[in-house]
Structure 1
């Protein structure tokens, strides 16, 4: 009886926290259907008093929303695919191969996660600018192509794959590339799903680096483009809320697609079996 009461209380607390977490997103989504006069008005209400779709129909008129949206989707998908693949390779090497200095190299990889972003942003900007990569997508893709967090996550997950399976495949004449692509990668599906969600979110919401590197407006990403709704004296809150609501859709799609394996993948990377 006591355990049942504790379970009910835990669920109640989680539901309350969930509502508190989702409330700002819900308010933003409903406010996207309000006129600006109602959004900035003193008399506020959660649901619109006057429903309007003008905020959604006018976002393309205010700025090239769909082009920036497509830029963000393309970059996020490309970087996520590259980072997941390189993390798979790195995790496979550190988990299933033995070589001199392995622990030291892995510690060096992990140490890169301890360096604050603010420390490396100026040297990184200078390096890419001197290399002539400013205002190119290469300057966005290359820094995110290899993820220390991803390598760590994949390594922890692949430690749970029995070595006997790999040895049996080698005895049968399978190459290392075959073992990697046909055995190790499919068995790491949960970790791949978890990392894909994390990586997609990081790229999708990144603002500062694209803002610094991309000067051509036609190449810019959506996170930077959303700032155009804010003028010097006024802000088009209705358009901003409408654009942000649409911008959340890809994130929701990615989560829905991978959510079944997300928890299992995060757990397998955190607990070494």
Structure 2
């Protein structure tokens, strides 16, 4: 072994050790708040903010769990959020995937103009459309309904943009060959295009689910009855004006995180592949 190789090996080991230590420290710092949240759900409200803080599990988990489900309508709110988020995700995938396919593989008058409008709407904050959207829901009688939460934002501009850019990489020759063989557009779309861009669709599914699950302001404005509340709105009602049961509040926060964690763990490979799709040009 040459002197250069001998000098390089300790340098690589040191660099690897520093990198591993840095990543481990960062992972611990990121995981610490979640660990404290889980530990806090096992203590009564009076002991959560004790000094020094508790980092070992307590014995109040069942009481907080039963309390947040029985003393409030949080269990109903979780079911409402699951229904709204899953329905919105499925319908949003259909709309965004079909729109992205049309923009990517069809030539029609106004194609570039319409796609430019989609890109412009990406720069608009949701607060800009809050009041007009609320007035529209009132005028058509959709106030305090689930369709008011699901239907207005199905054509998510980011989703259309993501799918369009991903479908651009699908070879046009493949689609033309299928048409020559007599395949219809629906069969081409479902049998060739959709399986090809499945990672991007999985990534979009996570984005759509998160967008609906975590939405707080719009459901707070549209929904009127506690029975129709979604999880974020119900969490806000757990914080009282005078006193707050932080054990139940943190338990509700923990429960509201579980569906998101399960979804991401189930689709994490497809999510990473979808984000990287198109990053390397063939």
Give the TM-score normalised by structure 2: 0.91
- Counting matched residue pairs gives 273
Whole-angstrom distance in 1 between the partners of 2:152 and 2:208: 13
Partner of 2:6: none
Q: What's the CA shift string for 1:172-214, capped at 9, x where partnerless?
A: 0000111011111111110011111111111111111111101
Structure 1 position 72 matched with structure 2 position 81: yes
1:243 deviation in Å? 1.5
Tell me the residue number matched to 2:106: 97
When structure 1 is superposed on structure 2, of 262-271 and 213-222 the one drifting more is 262-271
- 1:176 match: 185
Corresponding residue SS for 1:114: coil
Alignment match of 1:37 (pick from 46, 66, 70): 46
CA contact (8 A) 2:41 2:60 kept: no
The structure-2 alpha-carbon separation of the partners of 1:204 and 1:52, relative to structure 1 and needing over 3 Å to count, comes to: closer
User: Is contact 1:79–1:141 with CA below 8 Å preserved after alignment?
Assistant: yes
CA distance in 2, matches of 1:4, 1:85: 50
Correspondence 1:174-213 to 2 at 5 A: 174-213=183-222
Aligned ranges 1:216-235 → 2 under 5 Å: 216-235=225-244
Query: Does structure 2 conserve the Cα–Cα contact (< 8 Å) formed by 1:156 and 1:272?
Result: no
Query: Residue 49 of structure 1: CA displacement?
Result: 5.3
1:61 equivalenced with 2:76 (yes/no): no
Distance 1:159 1:56 in 2: 48
Q: 2:162 is paired with a residue of what secondary structure? A: helix
Q: Greater Rg, structure 1 or structure 2?
A: 2
- Specify whether residues 30 and 148 from structure 1 end up closer, same or farther in structure 2 by C-alpha distance, changes over 3 A only: same
Show structure 1 runs of 5+ residues with no match: none
When normalised by structure 1's length, the TM-score is 0.94
Deviation for aligned residue 1:43: 3.6
Bigger Cα displacement from structure 2, 138-147 vs 48-57: 48-57
CA contact (8 A) 1:55 1:242 kept: yes
Aligned equivalents of 2:14, 2:172: Cα separation in 1 = 44
CA–CA distance in structure 1, aligned partners of residues 144 and 95 of structure 2 = 25
Deviation at 1:225, TM superposition (A): 0.6
Q: CA 1:11–1:202 in structure 2 vs 1: closer, same or farther (change >3 Å)?
A: farther
